[in-house]
Structure formats: structure tokens, C-alpha cells
A and B are shown apart, each in its own frame.
Chain A
Amino acid sequence: GQQVMQIPQYQHVQEGEDFTTYCNSSTTLSNIQWYKQRPGGHPVFLIQLVKSGEVKKQKRLTFQFGEAKKNSSLHITATQTTDVGTYFCAGDFGNEKLTFGTGTRLTIIP
């Protein structure tokens, strides 16, 4: 079936360190989206990547879409306590719905 694998499942970092989460699909995606869910909250849309090799930045966050449109990454530079939460990727396989990854839970050690 169409699945999006996301790693790692958990990541604990010292405040100020960098963080990266990865998503991989076995088949080509039409687009990939990233969402953030704060503890106790609901997922909030961050960004959408559509083009092969696309790179987008939002302040300390850098999002990449692979050349083959099968993988993506989210990199946070110099993490802050406000970055705590679970980051989900969601792939569009060209059918009626998004397929969400399992998420990476980021905790920050002050």
C-alpha cells in the first residue's frame, strides 16, 4: 500500500542543537506537506513542497523535497523550547486523501 515512513520516532536534543526528521515513500509523490502538533494541541500546517528538489525556508526551518519526489526532510537550526512538538509529513499520492507519516516527537532539554 501507499505509505510514508518517517524517522526518527523520537528525538531529544539540547536547546541550541539542530534537529532533522526524514520522510520516505516507495512511490513518487505529487506533493508533500509538513505539519506541527504542539503537546495537547492539533496539527497545524507548516509548508507544502511540490517541485522536484525544492527547498523552502521559514526562519530556522528548512524543508527539502528530493529529486525523485520520494523523500523529504525538515531541518531545524538551533532549536528553541518553542520547537517542542510532533512533526508530521503528509504525502499526496494523487488519490483522494493525504497519507500522514507516523510523526517525530521532538523534546528539548533546556
Chain B
Amino acid sequence: DGGITQSPKYLFRKEGQNVTLSCEQNLNHDAMYWYRQDPGQGLRLIYYSQIVNDFQKGDIAEGYSVSREKKESFPLTVTSAQKNPTAFYLCASSISGGGDIQYFGAGTRLSVL
């Protein structure tokens, strides 16, 4: 069953804690993306990667970090520097980036305790 898997579905963060959101795809896509969505708002790009071991900042990268050690995986760490992390986080992938069609995971809802 091909697709994008995000885990966990719900996540709670304590003050000063770093948390990592998982995103795995078995579509053999080169490009992967992380978006943040606040209630009733659009999609804001956090980071994206077009190839293994390379990634670029999006529009709101501050307080977040990523890695791309494997083609299939693009984990996002929400660091303690991100003061307002409560949001819905969406991971997506596309065949090769640019204007390619993007396929989204089911998302992770992050809340602060």
C-alpha cells in the first residue's frame, strides 16, 4: 500500500522540549516537504528537500530543523526555540520537486502542555 505515513497522529510537547515528527514515503519520490497549518489558515512551508542529504528553508523555518539521510524519510524536529508550536503539521512528497503534484500525509496535530 503506497503512500506517505506521518506519525504520531497527535503529539504533546512540554515547555522547553524538542519533539520529532516522523514522515515516511514509499512512493520513490525525490522531493519532500513540511508545512504548518494553523486553524482556519493556509499552508506555510517550513522546509523542503529535493534530494537526499540536501534541504532548504521555507518561509517559516525558525524554530524547526530537518534531516534527509534517506530518500524515504524526512523527519521534522520542533525545537524549544519555536515558541508557538501548536498547529497541524503536514508532510508531502512529489516526484522531483518544482511544480510537481504533491501528495500529503494525514498530518500530525501538535499541542503544548
Contact = CB atoms under 8 A, between A and B. Distances in A.
Given A88-B42, A100-B43, A101-B42, A45 B50 contact: no
A33 interface: yes
Interface residues of A, number: 23
A25 interface: no
A44 interface: yes
A26 to B, nearest CB: 17
Contact residues of A: prevailing secondary structure: strand
B106 interface: yes
Interface of A: 30-31, 33, 35, 41-45, 48, 88, 90, 92, 94-98, 100-103, 105
Q: Which of B42, B56, B103, B107 has the most CB of A within 10 A?
A: B42
B98 interface: yes
B63 interface: no
Contacts of B43: 43, 88, 100, 103
B40 interface: yes
B80 to A, nearest CB: 27
Given A95-B98, A101-B42, A103-B42, A43 B48 contact: no
A104 to B, nearest CB: 10
Interface residues of B, number: 23
A23 B98 CA distance: 19
Interface string B42-72: 1101001010000010100000000000000
Interface string B34-46: 0100001111010
A97 B33 contact: yes
Given A42-B90, A43-B90, A96-B56, A31 B99 contact: yes
B102 interface: yes
A43 B101 CA distance: 11
Given A35-B102, A100-B35, 18 more contacts: A30-B99, A33-B99, A33-B101, A41-B106, A42-B104, A42-B105, A42-B106, A43-B104, A44-B104, A45-B102, A48-B101, A92-B99, A96-B48, A97-B48, A97-B58, A101-B42, A102-B42, A103-B41
